[in-house]
Amino acid sequence: MKTLADLKKIREKAQEDMKLRGGNVRIKIVVGMGTSGIAMGAREVMKTFLEEIAARNLTDVMVTQTGEKGLSSMEPVVDLIEEGKPKVTYGNMNPDKVKKVVIEHIVNGRVVSDYVVATGN
């Protein structure tokens, strides 16, 4: 059974971690979670990002959910936002594509152009 005491341990570990590398968020992931996105599988896309973050121990990434942005025909849609770089929007996402984006874009810094549906703001 998970208890709040487990969280204390996590907190101590995370604080050590942050001392070493600073608490900066390097990449922000925004998953479109409007009605049509949900119907097209956005929840599984979100879940896969969370699994990959946990499995690869990515501590400088933030994930949020947001409403629709008028790209209904390309749902599920995901934005990747990095400081000082144009926003990259990936469309028609699924769990396999998410895994590829995590390895290529988030870990190795290479945009996966095949899945990009829009860039910039």
Chain residues binding other proteins by CB under 8 A are 1-2, 4, 6-8, 10-11, 13-15, 18, 23, 31, 33-35, 38-39, 43-44, 46-47, 50, 53-59, 61-65, 67-68, 70, 72
Query: Percent helix, strand, coil in the chain (nearest 5)?
Result: 45, 20, 35
Cβ closer to other proteins: 5 or 114? 5
Cβ closer to other proteins: 15 or 119? 15
How many CB atoms are closer than 10 A to CB 13? 10
Q: What minimum distance in Å lies between the beta carbon of 43 and other proteins?
A: 6
What residue has token string 């929840």?
43
Dihedral sign computed on CA atoms, order 33, 78, 100, 85: negative
Cβ closer to other proteins: 38 or 103? 38
Cβ closer to other proteins: 1 or 114? 1
Q: What minimum distance in Å lies between the beta carbon of 113 and other proteins?
A: 26
Task: Tell which residue, 96, 93, 87, 88, has the closest CA to residue 74.
Answer: 93
